[in-house]
């Protein structure tokens, strides 16, 4: 079975001020999670029209976030 995946930009006309080093999308495809070189984890809402809006920025890591994984329930 062939699956088509559409590319999505996670910012508008200007790139974010942090350097994205990891990216993950949730199973329900409604949230994008990004990790940054500055140690931030950002949550983004993804609408069915593929419009992205910022949701939360999590601070606290002292090193780059280079990998993201989802936890099991």
What is the 3-state secondary structure of the chain?
A: CCCCCCCCCCCCCCCCCCCEEEEEECCCCCEEEEEECCCCEEEEEECCCCCEEEEEEECCCCCCCCCCCCCCC
pLDDT at 35: 92
Largest CA-CA distance found in the chain, in angstroms, rounded = 42
Instruction: List the pLDDT tens digit at each of the 73 positions of the chain.
Output: 665 555 555 556 665 566 889 999 998 889 999 999 888 898 999 888 888 888 888 888 889 999 999 887 7
Locate the domains of the chain by residue range. Answer: 21-58
């Amino acid at each position: 079975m062939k699956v088509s995946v559409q590319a999505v930009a996670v910012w508008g006309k200007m790139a974010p001020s942090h350097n994205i080093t990891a990216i993950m999308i949730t199973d329900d495809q409604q949230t994008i999670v990004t990790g940054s070189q500055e140690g931030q984890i950002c949550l983004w809402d993804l609408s069915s029209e593929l419009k992205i809006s910022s949701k939360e920025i999590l601070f606290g890591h002292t090193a780059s976030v280079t990998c993201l994984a989802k936890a099991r329930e």
